[in-house]
Homo-oligomer: A and B are copies of this chain.
Amino acid sequence: MTTDYTPMWQELGLDLAGHEALLNVLGTAYTDIYLSQKNRPEGMGYFDFVMSEVHGLRIKELMDEKAAGRKIIGSYCVFVPEEIVLAANATLVGLCSGADFAMEKVEQLLPRNTCALIKSSFGFKIGKVCPYLESADMIVGENTCDGKKKAYETLGTLVDNLYVMDLPQTKTDQTRDLLKAEYMKFKTAVEELTGITVTAESLKSAIDVVNAKRAAIHRLSALRKADPAPISGLDALLANQVFFYDNPARFTESVNKICDELETRIQEKTGAFPAGAPRILVSGCPQAVPNWKLHMIVETAGAVIVGEESCVGERGTRNLTADTGTTVDEMMDAIVDRYFQVDCAIFTPNPQRLDHIQEMVTAYNAQGVIHYGLQFCQPYLMESIPVEKALEEKNIPCLRVETDYGMEDAGQLKTRVEAFIEQLR
């Protein structure tokens, strides 16, 4: 970062020493993992810049928005509809949850046997090192898994602006009504926060903005079908991660620009990896910045990740919101219909997810699937067993990985991943 953002961080109440330590670790990790990659698309320069300014310029932008009266809303989940937030002239940002921080204090509030993602979100709050969280005017929780659902009760004692959204566990007409009621309540809450009423016009425009962002990611994903893969899984994952942080219009433009470049690379048969490199689909729990561990291990072992069946990936972005509605209620229905299709493992039964994994294997010409489970994430760990069984019945090799944000198991993981890749060659 070229600018000194210390006064801004101080104003946000960050723990400056802890925050600096975090940025140093993040910077070193980014250099080691990302900048060391060979044959990267030039367009990734944009994301290198974004990451170098992730707690700097982007926060400055949010602070400028706040100064101009716009509200910032933070979220931990793809079930929080960005359309509604944008339509009420607010900004949605994903909150920090991809690295361990202040774990000793976290484990005084949460059981040790809680997944790394949840513990991390607490660590960033307790350690005062997440400027997104500290700048948020409203933090949105949601009743997805037991871990998050119960953790929000405690998070509510740490922050004074937590809003919790209920979610259904099954997909029926009645539970769709529940989701609609929750989204209507959320719309009201956001309108109250911003003082701006969502109109048909603003909602239509917001749907277009979010759809454009998703369409750009769809375009990027489709280009990963080529062999040689024109972009690494690490770089594509980063784009999916930045999806949650960046200014939507700029993000869309930047991703489309990379896609233009990738199209040229495909024509020229320029790959991030050699043609014929083993192709792997990653499926399972979300990987938030800076959780690049699995992708790094897979790709330094010579295989390329060609897709993420994940909240930070196609599960989160795959469907567009229908833009055919003309009234707010019609558009709210379209939003509900779109999000109700998200095949998160919290739903029971959840056969759509298994179908989608198999569709992705075919679409991206993957030779194998690595199921990424965060330790203690019951919904995904539970689902990983029938997923593996179903894939193997179709002769699609599957490796189930259960890990956390620590590097203690990196050696063991590397050995297992390498053996799996050998099996695919």
Contact = CB atoms under 8 A, between A and B. Distances in A.
Interface of A: 108-111, 113-114, 143, 145-147, 149-154, 164, 166-167, 169-170, 172, 174-175, 177-178, 181, 345-346, 348-350, 375-376, 378-379, 381-386, 402
A167 B109 CA distance: 27
Contacts of A143: 169-170, 348
A383 B152 CA distance: 11
Given A166-B170, A169-B169, A147 B113 contact: no
A386 B177 CA distance: 32
Q: Chain B CB within 10 Å — which of A109, A147, A178, A345 has the most?
A: A178
Contacts of A181: 174
A149 B164 contact: no
A178 B177 CA distance: 10
Contact of A150 (B109, B150, B348, B376): B348
A11 to B, nearest CB: 32
B149 A385 contact: no
A386 B348 contact: no
A175 B175 contact: no
Contact of A175 (B113, B170, B178, B382): B178
B166 A175 contact: yes
A349 B153 contact: yes
Nearest to A149: B348
B153 A169 contact: no
A169 to B, nearest CB: 5
Given A110-B382, A113-B375, 20 more contacts: A109-B385, A111-B382, A111-B402, A113-B376, A143-B169, A145-B146, A146-B379, A147-B378, A147-B382, A149-B348, A151-B382, A152-B348, A153-B348, A153-B386, A154-B386, A166-B175, A169-B169, A174-B177, A174-B178, A376-B378
A151 B383 CA distance: 9
Contacts of A384: 111
29 contacts: A108-B385, A110-B385, A111-B402, A113-B375, A113-B376, A143-B169, A145-B146, A145-B378, A146-B146, A146-B147, A146-B346, A146-B379, A146-B382, A149-B169, A150-B378, A150-B382, A150-B383, A153-B348, A153-B350, A164-B348, A166-B169, A166-B170, A166-B172, A166-B175, A169-B169, A174-B177, A174-B178, A174-B181, A178-B178
